[in-house]
Structure 1
Amino acid sequence: MPFARALAGWGSRRALVHGARTVSYADLARLVEERARRLGTERRLVLLEMASDVESVVTYLAALAGAHPVVVVDAARPDVVAATRAAYDVDVVARGAEIEERRAGTAHDLHPELAVLLSTSGSTGSPRLVRLSAENLQANAESIAAYLPLREDDLAALSLPLHYCYGLSVLHSHLLRGAGVLMSEASVVDPCFWAAAREHGATSLAGVPHTFELLERVGLETVAPDSLRYLTQAGGAMAPERVRTYAEIGQRRGFDLFVMYGQTEATARMAYLPPDLAATRPGAVGVPVPGGRFDLLEVPGAPAGTGELVYEGPNVMLGYAEHPRDLADGRELTRLRTGDLARRADDGLWEIVGRLSRTAKVLGLRIDLDRVERALVDTGARALVAGTAPVDGAAERVVVAVEPRARGGAARLRARVRRQVVDLTGLPAAAVDVHAVEALPRLATGKPDHRAVAALGTPRPAAPLQGDPPAAPRTVRDVLGGVLGRRVGDDDTFAGLGGDSLTYVETSLQLEEVLGHLPADWHLRTVADLQAGAGARARRGRSLETNVVLRAVAIVAVVGTHANLLTLLGGAHLLLALAGFNLARFALGDVSRRDRARALVAAAARVAVPAVAWIGGAALLLGAYPWPTVLLVNGFVGPPGWTEPAWHHWFLEALVLLVLVVAALVSVPALDRAERRWPFWFPVALTLVALLPRYELVWLPEGDVIHRAPVVAWLLTLGWAVARARTTPHRLVVSALAVATVPGFFGDDARSAAVVVGLLLLTWSRQVRLPGPLARVVATLAGASLYIYLTHWQVYPHLEVDHPALATLLSLVVGVAVWRVAQHLERHLRRVGANVALTRPRYPADPAQMSR
């Protein structure tokens, strides 16, 4: 193995970095030579329990240098280690620097070319292994080093496991060029990972699609070191929009994105997409790696120009092994049938459009779905198993539909099946979706409908089966899943799951009950991070964010003023600024442009749908409102001046319209890029533009002014800027804007003062501690503020003259009650939607759509 034997030639260059330990090439060569002597000169079959540490790499390279065929397995999976050890009767078992010799010689006939054996089915413990030769490893390392801009001074930040062919390929290609590898057991969401990357000057990062999904949560532009020159992605298809997003980030930050395609059977890589095409051709796998070529085999029934992709090159495996006797076999094939449906586009780039076989690649692991299904059936379960492709940025998953044998107990059945799949595949529980169904979906022919099963795994709120026992929130995952109605994994965050200002309050209160104390940035922290802090001693009282307290105060001020209990104007205008504040936090995260627009439209819908339903009902039953008010267009076609009741819901109309305008703005690529590059100054600039109508520097129709959407838009964008104000100078800027622009707008000093004070509190004080009972009341009012505003117009007029306090109280109570009913109805609709998806599976018109 040339690159394993040539280590000393790179001298004092750093080869491996792990924690506080840095190993030069000269030191690595010495360690490998010493370990090779311990393995002996007679070729033996070595089982290596591979971990991401120096000693494991030394033993691996020693086996290669000594020509010992090495079976690489995950050190963290003792069940897989035991199964592989028993299946192949290995001669030597190695754990880091520990060498266990099971016999002096070998019990096997080992083919001279055999070098490495890797699992092709993830971590299932399957006896089927890929047989790779020394030529395979060397050729693929040279090929990768040829198309990547690999230099001797490079350092790869590696979070991928080394028992995985992608992780090994990073190691091989860097050792070939005398470059370094920074190894870490930490996830890319762990600040320690990036601290090490910055400290040592990492120049590249390799990841599977799930890695890039996690990077969206931490914000790559924020954490990446300036030394980063390129990213590589493989291990499954990544959503084209996400590819484009990272390519655009790279253009801004000065690094390249290499999207790659490969299989263990081809040692690692078969194709790559040149980085200059990532933004314009994100759905393609690109061109063959140097030394390789593609061809198509005809597939009956496939569209013209589409066929099974076949790869040919020096990195194609020798063949498979399923028994020790297979280790004596030489080369069995030179052309690899990939099992992927593909086509070659007019520009010469290759595209994957589907799969022929029943496999799924989840988090970089190839999962044999038929094997998992058979294993479940063997335990007595009535189950079907499918895999989902990445959809709308969601990771690929294993999806199981299971049919309960008796009524009730569905929750326990799902939990048991999930544990079985996790144990069998080595996947995290968050990557396995289990659904209890009344009957397994079948085609008209009676055959299993795996496509309908896969449809269950598309992103949608979880739908508990009727009869499941309610579970009290005991963990962070329970709380987020219960409030948001979503499936929740350890790496998820509240913001990443689609949480918004309407669900923020209830979630924060429940989480504080679980955790004892809630950090200020909890909505951006992962489930695992929050859960790690569970049990911290709670301080007296409850922490509520200032924006939550202000929402409650504002809605009480609105209702109390209308009911003649008090006079405190400006509440609705402050609510508009708070809406901008929360939009920036929950709908404008570090996700794709399409996901941002979708989140904003969904936010507008969560206001518009109940508003139109309630106002329309009041119009039909009571004759209370004209149709422009019902349709939320009164500001455009209604009476020009304030007229009751036509203008009652001006706030909701303005809010919906302005949120949709923001959605349109961030849908424009140039504006979206500008917002990401200047997250604070972009909304400040929008505020300055939106002040033109406020100061009547543009033409406005006659009539009411302070309640029209174009005129009050600056309040929403100012709230947006407050959310982005991270430094003292930023806070001074938004404070100055508030103090300079609010006075004079209303013609009422007290009203202006109320809005200014609210904005300053929002800017400078992010949390307020309240006694527990009061905090619950405040949180409830804040959470129900939309429905209180919507319904109070039908409550307080009956009591405002004689009983203003009662009018105020009943308005608040009715609004909270309607809010609770709306929450219950929303959960019911989610459940119905999930059941409809079961009975009406989707069939793509184009077979090419089946792959993604």
Structure 2
Amino acid sequence: MEVALGAGDLSIFPFCVAHLAAQGEKPALVFPGGRVVAYRELAARVDRQASYWRDGRGLVMLEADLSEHAIVAYLAALDAGHAIALQVAAALKADREIFKPDFCHRRIDGRWRTERLEGDPVAPHPDLAVLLSTSGSTGQGKYVRLSRTNIEANARSIAEYLGLTAADRSCLILPLHYSYGLSVLNAHLAVGASLYIPGGSILDEGFLDGLAESGSTNLSGVPYSYDLLERVGFREREFPRLRFMSVAGGRLGAEKVGLYNEHLLARGASLFVMYGQTEATARMAYVPPDRLRGREDRIGVAIPGGSLTIEDESGRLITGSEEPGELIYRGANVMMGYASARADLARGAEHSELRTGDLAVRDADGFFRIVGRTKRISKIAGLRIGHDGLEAALERHDIAAAVIGSDVEIHAFFVGEHDPEDVRQRLASASGLTLLQVRATRVDALPRLASGKVDYEALRQRSPLAGGSSNTDGVKALFEQLFYPQRVRPEDSFLSLGGDSLRFVQLSIGLEKILGEVPEAWEKMPVKTLAAMVRQERKTPQIGTDFLIRALAILLVVLHHETLWPIPGGSATMVILAGFGLARFQSGALLSGSLRQLLRPLAQILVPYYLIVAGYALAWGEVPWASVFLVGNFAFADPERHSMVPYLYWFIEAYCQMVLVFAALFAVPPVRRFAAVRPFAAGMALLAAAFAARLALPPLWEIGNRQIFTLPWIFHLAVVGWCAALAQNWAQRLAVMAAGTAIHVYLGLYEGVWIGTKIKYLLQIVVLAALLYLPRIRLPQWAVQLVLPLSAAGFHIYILHRFVPELLLAQAQPFLPPLVLSLCSIAGGVLLGLAVWSGQRQLFKWLVRARAGALPTHWPAGLKSWLSSGHPLLALGPQKESQVQRQ
């Protein structure tokens, strides 16, 4: 791959003497105080050093101090044809004994000297160029073997996506034995750019002054570097020549990414968020700066010349979005292999791909996001807990911590004046564990490797953690409780189990508690895939917009029933959501002709409904037969005659009728075949028919104001929701939006007879637009905690809220002012629904535990056997509300 970048000639190995000399008097290295080493001088020094090493091919071990001496030695070893191992001073002695280098270049008594050693007869492979330690700390005798092709390919790629030219200058603060720091050096030398080497820490007095005076156009750092930059007030200063900053070497919090991105954008600069590993010669992915906003938690796309894929545990390629698996990288920069002894240096390339060990997902736009690590995970009480996610959760409370863990407990080491018990509480809340399973220890400072990364091994040595395992899977238990009494297999998904919109909200709440943020299209993912995901906490969680709409709709219904004015429209919105849910979750059953699967969820609605009907029958001493047969909304019965329950329950009757109409339509084979081939066209045709029925049938069937409760009056709303769920591209969304707007404008402004009707129909235009163009929405955590329970308990609130003013407050009504009575009725109706919903969740949690044999031993054996069997009668319970808590 030949790419012309800047002034450098990349057709030759970019760090040889000839390449350096060709840059002439351009500055190569710049130091505080204005001292400059030009490329020509650098080339001469490299050539002079290399001349001492040009006798055969061997191994040079270098004390990789961030200095001009180390840079010259690094380039000289490459030019002389040797392999060079870069390491910190503390590791040189141990690694010299293991790898038996031919030369060691290090500081002795304050001066840089080359030691000629006995070496080893094993010659390094001709392609081998650089060895970088995998530990980054005290030598552990394991190096990554990088070829000349690896280094050149990565330098080319980095220079390309950063747009580097000879006019650039990087402020190099990262150590050379760290692959990220070495890549900064390599990429800039490859194009004839220069490097400013401040020679100290960011915290050193005068660092920012030196940065400004150096004329640096870019600055690269790890997340810890950005913490230090905040401490020294980087964002309070101006650096006119700064063109971009970059971050890699770990996860920089999304909030801080957004902070620096906006700061740099305001100054005409850019932030590059990157991802890499030493095994891929530093970098594998980056987020294009112009697409970073809104993707602050992503690692981006593959670098030029590379590719990223995701595979599951069996090696199957994952092509869907938001489905996690191990991230696999392929490219010319993938290492040759590892080396733990001198003999390993003679081996050739052994890898064509890099299995990163990171769990990742791909979003709908093709951007990758890390969701955890295959090794930094604990499995406790059935929960797969990512240590990185816990650190992020603590970070949002300004707690700087490093988390380690086993399959028994989690341990957080933190700095600062926080109360350890408060840290434990937050750790337990973020992980879903109990206080018995978490520890928190205050330390003066987190131990760090030379790269700036946390030294987790040092922390692990401080806290021996017991081993252990658990066979209980929190996600699987969640599905089992929701779909009780069905048996749930790891390969089952929400849709394959026959999930519907009523279960969807319930399960979303449980998954949100386990995973932190529920991935898009989770309803299609197998249970085992969801269980493998790692918790991803978000300060502003993302939820489905339909959840918010559902919660607001039920509140509108409660308010409207209590005040009558001026907020109608909640019921109409619920009808749209009903059609939306049918298309999302039941279209498969309809297209396959599986009417049983379609009708089964009606039990979730009809069981509580018939309990209410039975209650009225007992109170009246008469059976409301119209309600028994779900036809009370057709105006031939009356609550005052006790032939039907109150009008409030018309929605349940209409919903059941709606499902039967869909079932009847799709029972016709030609209809099914057409809808299977052209689902959107079939939906729009049905919308036209439903609207025609809305206009034609009411005038032919004079039943007065009761017509607003009938199926012909509201069926078109359900079909609008159906079409919104089927719209897959902008043209289809535009068609649904135009049709829905036209219908509702006509019904609201032309046909509407009072202002409430106008509000009702015009409100549906907003609802439709949100469903089509804003499928997910980010809300503060406190808002999510309000919205999700209201959405999940919506059915209970709907069927129970009128019991508060008409039954529970009936005796107090004469003594309460109207405003107080209304407020108590509204709040009480919502709280009653939430309380019953919560009680039902606990009931189904208990039933699942009973089936698992966790009942008290003194219970009757017959009852325990019946419950454990999952008897079909138990399936009639209102599973919609069987939301579970993790055990």
Which TM-score band applies after superposition, normalised by the shorter structure? 0.3 to 0.5
TM-score (norm 1): 0.45
Q: Report which of the two structures shows the higher radius of gyration computed on alpha carbons.
A: 2
